[in-house]
Amino acid sequence: MIVVESGEMQNIEKAYVRNGLPLASLMEQAGAAVAELATKIIIQNKLKKVTVLCGKGNNGGDGFVTARFLSLMCEVTVILANDYPATNLGKLNFEIIPDKVNILYFSEKQDECINAISDSDMLIDAIYGISFRDVLDPFSAMLIDTCNKNTRAVKIAIDTPSGIICNTGEIPDECFHADYTISFTALKPLHVLYPSTDYCGKVSVAKIGIPQSLIDTCTYVMKTTDEFIETHPLKKNKKSAHKGTNGTLLSICGSYGMSGAAVLSGMAALRSGVGILRAAVPNVIYPIVASKLTEAVFIPLPQSNDGLISINSFDTLQYQILEKASALLIGCGLGTSNDMAELVSAMISTSNKPVVLDADGINSITMNIDVLRQCNAPVILTPHPGEMANLAGTTVADIQKNRYRVARDFASKYGVTVILKGANTLIALPDGNVYVNLTGNNGMAKGGSGDVLAGMAASFLAQGLSYAEAAIYATYYHGLAGDKCAEKYSARTMLPSDMLEELKYILK
């Protein structure tokens, strides 16, 4: 599925009209799609009173159509937030609203409107659409505040919760807190970016009659990972496969007190199909990790006084990199120090094998980021927002505000793949393409989840997949494993180790 900005969506609609097709039919189908979703919820929850809040533009027109359909089955009130509709299509659909629908002008009957909202079982937001670029007007702000206070009502937003800027996901002041958002034709950036995604609820996309040929030729900003998975399914191993043909991963992870990271990433790599896992760990944690990773081959290494892999291990590691490995994983629980920063940079700059850098592997290069350009093979970085902020020289708040731009620009600048973790993880490729992942849940927000992801990505690289395939498959199936765990246990109680078990079933 593609993600398009507001301007491009408007271009698609203009092309639709140039092809001789009526724009009115899009509004009719949009309203029908919203009404279909609302009807399912109304029947399921036995709701009786629905209020549709409509603005002056075509988003309000979608609301009028929705109200007309819903009036066939329940009590409907339409509130005109900003007075009479201003567009031709809006006027047309306002004028054919059935007489039994209660129509209120907020400018004239504020108390009655507020009472209607407070008394409603369902609230449908059709005030502002994807063209919104400013702060809410006072009337709309008051209406939306009243809607948000009605915590009993089911809330549906048409295309976008009012108050959110479409292309950035920014919320200048307040916004409608939707339980469901129904987008038309394609996803928009606000549906997948912070902070807006927290206020969209469950997002669905309705096809409203725009030909696929117009969608296929449009300019998009992102695609979803499920689109990639559908067109590039994960291939099964050949019958003749053996451990040598399934790749060898050199995992350079773990330190004193951080043995779990080496275990989780190693198990994830094995569960994801790598033929041989060679685990390079400091002597101090070797017995612990070896007792958990019984299928791995171990390279115990000397350690520094603080329990990190010693810088004197470089020659041993370089031999393993150049002669034994088909891919590297560096960083899970590795620890940080000046020597570690030097060791990590040396490994990257001399490597001729694909690399996944996670956690302290990322932290170790923040003062020497240009080393990424020296690697003679693809590099995948898996930062969380804090690590991304260190890489980009900015703040976590700025990263969360500009996730798409920061990930895309960093990947392009340094020729790497960035998996920017978080809800709706972004995968930015060095060619400028960006994918957004819609699998996963908040139960994965626990220490160790990132180790599982890094191990999966490195495993796929070691098996010979491209950097794009490795990053996208790992992110998608990592999230899917999390979703299966949340279903089986709960988001609150699930653990990253539970996700390892689910990989047995989803990576058949």
In whole angstroms, what is the distance from residue 421 CA to residue 387 CA? Answer: 10
Q: What is the CATH number of the domain that holds 403?
A: 3.40.1190.20
Q: Where are the beta strands (DSSP E) in 23-83?
A: 49-54, 75-80
Determine the pLDDT at residue 381: 98
Confidence band for 83, pLDDT divided at 50, 70 and 90: confident
401: amino acid identity, one letter: K
Q: Are residues 175 and 287 in the same domain?
A: no
Confidence band for 508, pLDDT divided at 50, 70 and 90: confident
307: amino acid identity, one letter: G
Q: Are residues 397 and 255 in the same domain?
A: yes
Tell whether omega for the bond before 195 is within 30 degrees of 0, i.e. cis: yes
Q: Are residues 56 and 160 in the same domain?
A: yes
In whole angstroms, what is the distance from residue 68 CA to residue 72 CA? Answer: 7
Q: 3-state DSSP call for residue 296?
A: coil
Q: Are residues 279 and 345 in the same domain?
A: yes
Q: Are residues 26 and 97 in the same domain?
A: yes
Residue 209: name the closest of 62, 56, 30 by CA: 30
In whole angstroms, what is the distance from residue 489 CA to residue 21 CA? Answer: 50
Instruction: Report CA-CA distances (Å) from 209 to 3, 60, 70.
Output: 18, 19, 21
Q: How many domains does the chain have?
A: 2
Q: Which two tokens stand for residue 68?
A: 């007309």
| Helical segments of 426-466, H only | 449-462
Q: Are residues 53 and 114 in the same domain?
A: yes
Residue 255: name the closest of 289, 229, 297, 216 by CA: 289
CA dihedral 390, 391, 395, 397 (to 10 degrees): -120
146: amino acid identity, one letter: T
Q: Are residues 191 and 337 in the same domain?
A: no
Q: Which two tokens stand for residue 427?
A: 């995968």
Q: Where are the beta strands (DSSP E) in 271-315?
A: 276-282, 297-301
Q: What is the CATH number of the domain that holds 137?
A: 3.40.50.10260
Determine the pLDDT at residue 244: 83
Determine the pLDDT at residue 57: 95
Q: Are residues 248 and 363 in the same domain?
A: yes
Provide the β-strand partners of residue 427: 419, 435
Helix (H) or strand (E) holding 434: strand 434-436
Residue at which a domain ends, from 220, 254, 277: 220
Instruction: Report CA-CA distances (Å) from 451 to 93, 264, 268, 287, 365.
Output: 54, 6, 8, 20, 18
In whole angstroms, what is the distance from residue 391 CA to residue 42 CA? Answer: 48
pLDDT digits (tens, 9 = 90+) for 407-455: 999 999 999 999 999 989 999 999 999 999 999 999 999 999 999 999 9
In whole angstroms, what is the distance from residue 255 CA to residue 21 CA? Answer: 64
pLDDT digits (tens, 9 = 90+) for 323-365: 999 999 999 999 999 999 999 999 999 999 999 999 999 999 9
pLDDT digits (tens, 9 = 90+) for 185-201: 999 999 999 889 999 99
Q: Are residues 292 and 377 in the same domain?
A: yes
Determine the pLDDT at residue 241: 80
In whole angstroms, what is the distance from residue 36 CA to residue 42 CA? Answer: 10
Q: Are residues 323 and 442 in the same domain?
A: yes
In whole angstroms, what is the distance from residue 398 CA to residue 320 CA? Answer: 39
- Which pTM does this prediction carry? 0.93
pLDDT digits (tens, 9 = 90+) for 362-412: 999 999 999 999 999 999 999 999 999 999 999 999 999 899 999 999 999
Contact (CB, 8 A) for 425 and 475: yes
Residue at which a domain ends, from 189, 220, 251: 220
Determine the pLDDT at residue 434: 98
Q: Are residues 472 and 332 in the same domain?
A: yes
Which phi and psi angles does 196 have, rounded to 5°? -65, -30
Residue at which a domain ends, from 160, 188, 220: 220
pLDDT digits (tens, 9 = 90+) for 457-505: 999 999 999 999 999 999 999 999 999 999 999 999 999 999 999 999 9
Give one DSSP letter per residue of 246-264, joined into a string: T-EEEEE---TT-HHHHHH
Q: Quick one: 23 exposed, middle or buried, by C-beta within 10 A (0-12, 13-18, 19+)? A: middle
Q: Are residues 188 and 261 in the same domain?
A: no
Contact (CB, 8 A) for 137 and 82: yes
Range of the domain at 342: 229-233+240-506
